[in-house]
Amino acid sequence: METSERVAGIIAALKQEYPDALCALQYKKDYELMISVRLSAQCTDKRVNMTTPALFERFPDAKAMAAGTVEEIYHLIKSISYPNNKAKHLHEMAQKLERDFQGKVPEDMELLQTLPGVGRKTANVVMAVAFHKLAMPVDTHVFRVSNRLGLANAKDVLQTRLWKLRNSW
């Protein structure tokens, strides 16, 4: 069976099983999505969704978060894994958004990755979900499943992402 036929079958099965599949993180704007994705690293979406309402109430935009303190952010996200580093990165991210991007989340992959704490996976999720751009968020799970299903033939996460983009379905 050709890869394209296998992909079509898998996509059809997934669409049937999950017809309304959406991002599990709860957000209202791209700023909130970016923060939620960053917080979800090594943490469940359920925990992030329980934590972010108070965070977004206190810090509704980058300007508010940049004016806040790391300690305030930490207090609101302390139930999330690695809150010390994440609070520091969120504060630095908000400051850079204000300083370099007038408080707006950039719609560019490279610019997103200049923000503290934003790596390739977070940038790809923001590009795909918030901005509806062609982007392939690949984590360890996507990498493993893609290889097992024969959808990719790669040795690591980056190779999987690049393979999928080169061989778009």
pLDDT tens digits, 39-65: 999 999 999 999 999 999 999 999 999
Q: Could you identify the residue written with the tokens 């978060």? A: 65
The two three-digit tokens of residue 108, written as one number: 């560019």
Contacts 24+ apart (CB under 8 A), 1-8: 3/150, 3/151, 3/167, 4/169, 6/149, 6/150, 6/151, 7/151, 7/169, 8/169
Sign of CA dihedral 158, 168, 28, 111: positive
- Contact predicate 112/127, CB 8 Å: yes
Q: What is the pTM of this model?
A: 0.84
168, pLDDT greater than 70: no
Catalytic residues: 121, 139
